[in-house]
DNA sequence: CGGTAAGCGAGACGGTACGTCTTGTCTTATT
DNA sequence: AATAAGACAAGACGTACCGTCTCGCTTACCG
């Protein structure tokens, strides 16, 4: 049978509460930023009890991760334009575009959790970061096959690229705009 | 008169309290990590009143910044070995060496503050990050003058290098060891 | 027809669930005392849903009242030894004997409910306390008829006797033992 | 030196906060009764943080005890009219008069705590009940010396009298009015 | 024998209180 | 004037219980 998601006994989970919580998370991120994003505030704004919140998400980190997942359509577009420079440029421009102010604040909230607590870092890595690295890695592996970059270069490029993104985001070094996308694409493509 | 630091009336600031606070900050970072590094805990462990703490440092961020400054000898060694690859390698290896566990926890505490609060990000950038970037920039500018890298390449290299460092640190991607130093140095030196 | 308890349609009430609930109530009273005697805990220990619990008992008070009723054989023995002193002594000694540790904890749970909420007090009075007063009143009325005590004396004696019992129980003034039974019997019998 | 209450360093305790808390306790008892008398509600109504509440009182019981102490002028008047009946009557009438609706609700709150938790019962006994018993005991001991009642009769009378008071209060048996005072005085005086 | 209806377990839900913790400010006496 | 001592308002933390609700399944009867 395909019906692996057998209906369990008991009152089913309220999809409305779930949506309200994720919406409240986005609103709070937008309005107050990471500092205002407390479990207490999420429950209050969503009109939901704290017990419901803690029943489904063990920590703020998990809520934010799910809010982010819900927000983006989950499939990361993979350009294939024939050269590493072009592919990278397209990929990073797309990344920049999808990173609006609210998303950036959610990401900063995640970074704050990760920095403060290694177990949260593990969680975020496994549930969020590996996916992004995986997508980018496909582009890089294609370039490896084309001989544009070495295997070792591809490996470190993942850190260089995403590192520069988070670095700018967390410390407000400079905006994550098309200029950044172009500069990074150009630099990495040059790593032969 | 040379005495520009005019003696003010009243009881002078206690150097002992200052040392106790910075020592307590290091100890807490070492023992409990960023989560245990609260102003409350620092005052408690230092045997100092919170009043004194807040009189001289407006936030935990400032305390951590000063503890870090006290810890390292402030002058960042600048290797000059004739090539970007060699200089970068030496510089990053040195960076890796000086980043022991306690320092890493202090840096993660800083990152948590920066991520959660843009005004803290500003502070950390101005009082800590710009210095590191300045040091690395000297190495890169030397390479620019030697024609090893373009001006634009040097600019983005700063983000790529430090970005990958913080990225690994915050999210626990991989250790900051000599392998990392070598891979980064090699990749950046290849950006012609 | 004698079948006054007309069979209603639908699944009949589970006697097993009822027994499990009353048993769980006694166990919890014995193990944890009044504090641990929550509706939540009763349902959990009985392996019964809260729905079932609230369907048949509107409050914890009602559950405890029924558990107490089930526990004692409901008929309060009425000694008739010819004198108020002897009757009272026998009655109170019997009361003391039947008040084991678990019963005392159930009674304290009832007192806590009554003290906190007048509507619970009403319930307990009507469903529990009036019976005990009725039994004792029979003994006293017999003494009134024998001229051993006045009507007014009998009336206030009910409060004095049961009052001292609850007072000792609730505030831990002193144990409810035979010494208490004797002292009370002696004092009340002297109220001519 | 007599100045045993040496001024300690640090910000002194706020008498205003203390008064606000005790006032809030009385108001809540008057408005909502024992059920509405939570630490949370007291702090809210008093405009005080929960930390301040818990700093000075470890439990709701302690707050209520202090509110009661503040409320009555602490010295229990001891009538001396020459006979046990007269003394008891006067004493209990005074007790009835001072037991207004708010006081009764505070006492019921205490009883609820005592019934639910033996350690609270201990606290209430030592800090409240022993004083009342002590006052009444003085009246009874005077009667013992006059030969109006035996030592044993005096001992159990304490339980009978206060027992009947709490019994009526907790279970709403009957009002604590002058009729009660008279009936109890008459009955106890008859216990020769 | 199939329909009807209540009972039941499981468990989600909004609400509220608990007691603890940290933040940043404040108010003292002492140094 | 700086300090330690520590009180204070504010508010988040994660847990517990309350009483209600909404499911699917079970167990009777009744036609």
Q: What is the pLDDT of residues C119-139, one digit of tens each?
A: 999 999 999 999 999 999 999
D19 has a pLDDT exceeding 90: yes
Within 10 angstroms of residue A171's Cβ, the number of other Cβ atoms is 24
Determine contact, residues A65/B148, Cβ cutoff 8 Å.
no
A98 has a pLDDT exceeding 80: yes
Q: CB of D34 within 8 Å of any CB in chain C?
A: yes
User: Residues 42-71 of chain C: which lie with beta carbon within 7 Å of strand F?
Assistant: 50-51, 54, 59-60
Q: Residue D189: which residues within 8 A CB-CB, separation 6 or more?
A: D83, D84, D85, D88, D148, D149
Which chain C residues are within 8 Å of D191, Cβ to Cβ? Answer: 187-188, 190-191
**pLDDT reported for residue D2:** 37
D179 has a pLDDT exceeding 70: yes
**pLDDT reported for residue D3:** 38
What 3-state DSSP class applies to D147? Answer: coil
CA distances from A150 to A92, A157, A159, D64, D167 (A): 20, 10, 15, 76, 88
CA-based nearest distance B47→chain A, Å: 25
Crossing angle of the two packed helices C84-98 and C130-145, in degrees rounded to 10? 160
Please, how many CA atoms are within 13 Å of residue C49, restricted to the half-sphere of its CB? 7
Q: CB of D111 within 8 Å of any CB in chain C?
A: yes
D90 has a pLDDT exceeding 70: yes
Q: What is the pLDDT of residues D125-177, one digit of tens each?
A: 999 999 999 999 999 999 999 999 999 999 999 999 999 999 999 999 999 99
Backbone angles phi, psi at C27, to 5 degrees: -60, -45
B96 has a pLDDT exceeding 60: yes
Search chain A and give the residue with CA nearest B182: A156
CA distances from A41 to A34, A35, A50, A108, D30 (A): 12, 11, 10, 17, 33
Determine contact, residues A159/B168, Cβ cutoff 8 Å.
yes
The DSSP letter of residue B175 is -
Search chain A and give the residue with CA nearest B111: A115
Which chain C residues are within 8 Å of D157, Cβ to Cβ? Answer: 187
Task: Enumerate domains of chain A plus CATH numbers.
Answer: 15-57 (1.10.10.60), 64-190 (1.10.357.10)
**pLDDT reported for residue C7:** 67
Token pair 């991760």 is at which residue? A65
Judged by 3 or more CB pairs under 8 A, whether A touches D is no
**pLDDT reported for residue A2:** 34
Determine contact, residues D43/D50, Cβ cutoff 8 Å.
yes
Rounded to whole angstroms, the Cα distance separating C26 from C38 reads: 12
Distance of CA B132 to the CA centre of its chain: 7
CA distances from A171 to A18, B95, C8, C106 (A): 32, 19, 72, 62
**pLDDT reported for residue B192:** 72
Q: Which pair of structure tokens corresponds to residue D181?
A: 């005072």
Q: CB of D146 within 8 Å of any CB in chain C?
A: no
**pLDDT reported for residue A79:** 87
A3 has a pLDDT exceeding 60: no
The pLDDT of C33-51, averaged and rounded, is 97
Helix (H) or strand (E) holding A124: helix A118-124
What average pLDDT does the structure give for chain B? 93
B74 has a pLDDT exceeding 70: no
CA of C45 vs C1' of E14, distance in Å? 25
Rounded to whole angstroms, the Cα distance separating C89 from C95 reads: 10
**pLDDT reported for residue D8:** 78
**pLDDT reported for residue B146:** 95
Q: What is the pLDDT of residues A136-165, one digit of tens each?
A: 999 999 999 999 999 999 999 999 999 999
**pLDDT reported for residue B2:** 41
Burial of B34 (0-12, 13-18, 19+ CB in 10 A): buried
The pLDDT of A158-179, averaged and rounded, is 98
The pLDDT of C144-169, averaged and rounded, is 97
Rounded to whole angstroms, the Cα distance separating C41 from C48 reads: 10
**pLDDT reported for residue D6:** 60
Handedness of CA D127, D128, D129, D132 (dihedral sign): positive
Q: What is the pLDDT of residues D55-88, one digit of tens each?
A: 999 999 999 999 999 988 767 888 899 999 999 9
Q: What is the pLDDT of residues A37-46, one digit of tens each?
A: 999 999 999 9
Q: Give the N- to C-terminal CA distance of chain C in Å, as an integer.
A: 53
D11 touches strand F (CB under 7 A): yes
Rounded to whole angstroms, the Cα distance separating A95 from C53 reads: 55
Q: Is D190 in contact with C191 (Cβ distance < 8 A)?
A: yes
C64 has a pLDDT exceeding 90: yes
A4 has a pLDDT exceeding 70: no
Q: What is the pLDDT of residues B137-152, one digit of tens each?
A: 999 999 999 999 999 9
């Amino acid at each position: 049978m395909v019906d692996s998601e057998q209906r369990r006994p008991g009152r089913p989970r309220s999809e409305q509460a779930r949506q309200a919580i994720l919406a409240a998370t986005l609103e709070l991120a937008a309005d107050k930023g990471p500092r205002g994003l407390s479990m207490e505030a999420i429950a209050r704004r969503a009109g939901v009890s704290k017990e419901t919140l803690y029943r489904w998400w063990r920590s703020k980190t998990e809520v934010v991760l799910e809010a982010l997942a819900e927000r983006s359509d989950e499939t990361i577009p993979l350009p294939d334009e024939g050269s590493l420079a072009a592919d990278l440029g397209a990929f990073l421009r797309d990344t920049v575009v999808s990173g609006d102010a609210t998303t950036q604040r959610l990401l900063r909230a995640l970074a704050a959790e990760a920095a403060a607590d290694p177990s949260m870092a593990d969680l975020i890595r496994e549930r969020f970061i590996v996916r992004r690295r995986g997508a980018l890695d496909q582009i890089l592996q294609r370039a490896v096959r084309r001989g544009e970059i070495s295997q070792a270069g591809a490996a470190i490029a993942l850190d260089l690229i995403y590192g520069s993104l988070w670095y700018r985001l967390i410390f407000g070094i400079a905006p994550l705009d098309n200029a950044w996308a172009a500069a990074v694409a150009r630099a990495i493509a040059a790593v032969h």
